[in-house]
């Protein structure tokens, strides 16, 4: 179950809740903002955080504040329906989730560069 909308000051927000058959609860909160540098050049900061009520070692997810995915994307809108972008994203894991990742030989935090095309049809 979730809710999506436009918060004051034109922040796009999305709050989603999940319930599993085993009684695990999860919440995901996402937010982004379009900062117009020009009429066509747009900088978009975004953040996503995940919270879990119980640890799930099979999925390598710990209880509480689990992870964050945040970044900046710069896009150029040739039209509203076609906009290539490039950006940088940080993905970090915290608490039990970070410990699960380290035990599996994974990193608890990564920075990556992204590029793509935003399109509507």
**Are the C-beta atoms of 85 and 75 separated by less than 8 Å?**
yes
Q: Tell me the pLDDT tens digit for each residue of 36-50.
A: 999 999 999 999 999
User: What value does the CA radius of gyration of the chain take, rounded to a whole number of Å?
Assistant: 17
Query: How would residue 92 be classed by pLDDT, with cut points 50, 70 and 90?
Result: very high
Mean pLDDT (the chain) is: 92
pLDDT attached to residue 12: 92
Cα–Cα distance for residue pair 102/92, rounded to 1 Å: 12
**Are the C-beta atoms of 92 and 106 separated by less than 8 Å?**
no
Please provide residue 94's backbone torsions phi and psi, each rounded to the nearest 5 degrees. -130, 160
**Are the C-beta atoms of 87 and 43 separated by less than 8 Å?**
no
Q: Tell me the pLDDT tens digit for each residue of 6-23.
A: 888 788 999 999 998 878
Number of domains forming the structure of the chain: 1
pTM over 0.85? The answer is no
Domain of 48, in residue numbers: 2-119
């Amino acid at each position: 179950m979730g809710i999506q909308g436009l918060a004051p000051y034109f922040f796009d927000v999305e709050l989603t809740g999940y319930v599993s058959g085993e009684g695990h609860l999860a919440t995901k909160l996402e937010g982004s903002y379009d900062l117009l540098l020009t009429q066509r050049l747009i900088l978009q900061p975004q953040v996503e955080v995940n919270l879990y009520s119980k640890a799930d070692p099979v999925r390598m997810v710990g209880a509480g504040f689990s992870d964050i995915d945040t970044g900046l994307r710069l896009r150029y809108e040739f039209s509203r329906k076609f906009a290539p972008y490039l950006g940088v994203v940080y993905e970090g894991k915290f608490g039990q989730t970070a410990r699960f990742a380290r035990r599996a030989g994974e990193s608890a935090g990564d920075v990556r560069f992204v590029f793509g095309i935003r399109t509507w049809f």
